[in-house]
Amino acid sequence: MLSSSAVAFLERLLDTPGPSGFESAPARAWRDEAARFATVRGDVHGNSMATVDGTGRADAPAIMLAGHIDEIGVIVQHIDDEGYAYIAPIGGWDVQVLVGQRIRFLGAEGDVFGVVGKKPIHLLRTDDREKASKLTDLWVDIGSTSAAETIARLNVGDAGVIDSRTIRFPNNRVVSRSIDDRIGAFVVLEALRRYAEKPGTARVVATATTQEEIGYRGGGAGVSAAAIGARMAIVVDVTFATDHPGIEKKELGNHPVGSGPVLTRGSIISPVVFRLLRDTADAVSIPYTLQAAGRDTGTDADAIHIAREGIATALVSVPNRYMHSPNELVSLDDVDHTAALIAETCRRVTAEVDFTQR
């Protein structure tokens, strides 16, 4: 079960803004926590790595645990003469989600808050009322009366996120704008913490990767995977929960919130590492569901499995409702089970494991 201190750290991590390319603040929080029990370093790409050495001989395999720490956001594209800011997306947005939201910009002198404006419905023509908003229909008002006043606080290239805070829900659930995928960065660190309490023979490196939301092939994950020299990797991300209205299980499978980690099987997934995870889950009675991925996965796994000479890679996901919205929702029970499964799986990896499917 997650400790109260672990949950407090998770909430702090979720609330720290860090869209893709601007992840330094949550990365610092992650490294500060990791330094309590691991050896920590960063790289030029912004990735953060925490290492716990195993008890085995020198040829014991290294294991990479990866969760990306960036979130979707916005970036200032233009400031007009009246001081309104116009924004472009960082990552994939449903523009309708942005209408009427408050934005927290990371200004050079500190946070700058604004509101997303749109022409009121009363002023829209009848045939326009049913149309979806475009990003070019929106602007951000920070209370300025001129371009000079805005530029004194906010400038082109400044990034921002929706200004929402983490809240707890009944049934041990948590709601946040940045669960995708700061929950993955949290899980890999929590798994490493548990591994450090009872290490196996492998050297395990938890990695908070960057720029996944904008990276065609995994953003910073490929950089860190090449540097770590791991033989095995477990990527932790979120996947679509399928227990709310409008979901087609024939297309997505069955992954309710609270059903445990989701283990992916598919074309880029190592069958050896998948079996390690599945057999461990069965042995220690951790619930899980299965997900199929016939091509790529849309996660850091796509970059990691082809790094260096190839890394045996698996994907473990947490069911997530309302992805890429201000209020994503996951179960802390699923988070706990995912961390426990990964820690125990790492303990079972020895120098004798053959990662090549025979």
Domain range summary for the chain, segments of one domain joined by + = 4-71+177-347, 73-162
206 CA to centre of own chain: 14
Give backbone dihedrals phi and psi of 304, rounded to 5 degrees, phi first.
-70, -40
Name the 3-class secondary structure at 73.
Answer: strand
**Token pair for residue 264?**
């992916």
**pLDDT for residue 216:** 63
**pLDDT for residue 219:** 79
Catalytic residue chosen out of the listed positions 23, 33, 190, 212: 212
**pLDDT for residue 16:** 98
pLDDT digit string, tens, across residues 269-319: 999 999 999 999 999 999 999 999 998 999 999 999 999 999 999 999 999
**pLDDT for residue 129:** 76
Q: Which residues of the chain have pLDDT under 50?
A: none
**pLDDT for residue 123:** 60
**pLDDT for residue 186:** 98
pTM over 0.85: yes
**pLDDT for residue 198:** 96
Give one DSSP letter per residue of 269-297, joined into a string.
S-HHHHHHHHHHHHHTT---EEEEESS--
Residue 112 contacts residue 154 (beta carbons within 8 Å):
yes
The CATH number of domain 4-71+177-347 is 3.40.50.720: no
**pLDDT for residue 217:** 65
* Distance between CA atoms of residues 162 and 205, nearest Å: 31
Write b or e for each residue in 310-348: b if 16 or more Cβ atoms lie within 10 A of its Cβ, otherwise e: ebbbbbbbbbbbbbbbbbbbbbbbbbbbbbbbbbbbbbe
Q: Is the dihedral of CA 146, 17, 180, 236 positive or negative?
A: positive
Find the DSSP H helices in the chain: 4-15, 24-34, 95-98, 147-151, 179-197, 221-228, 249-252, 271-283, 301-304, 332-347
* Distance between CA atoms of residues 56 and 351, nearest Å: 8
* Distance between CA atoms of residues 198 and 215, nearest Å: 35
**pLDDT for residue 131:** 78
pLDDT digit string, tens, across residues 148-191: 999 999 999 999 999 999 999 999 999 999 999 899 999 999 99
Span 73-162 CATH architecture: Beta Barrel (2.40)
| Identical fold between 4-71+177-347 and 73-162 | no
Q: Note if 23 is an active site residue.
A: no
Name the 3-class secondary structure at 171.
Answer: coil
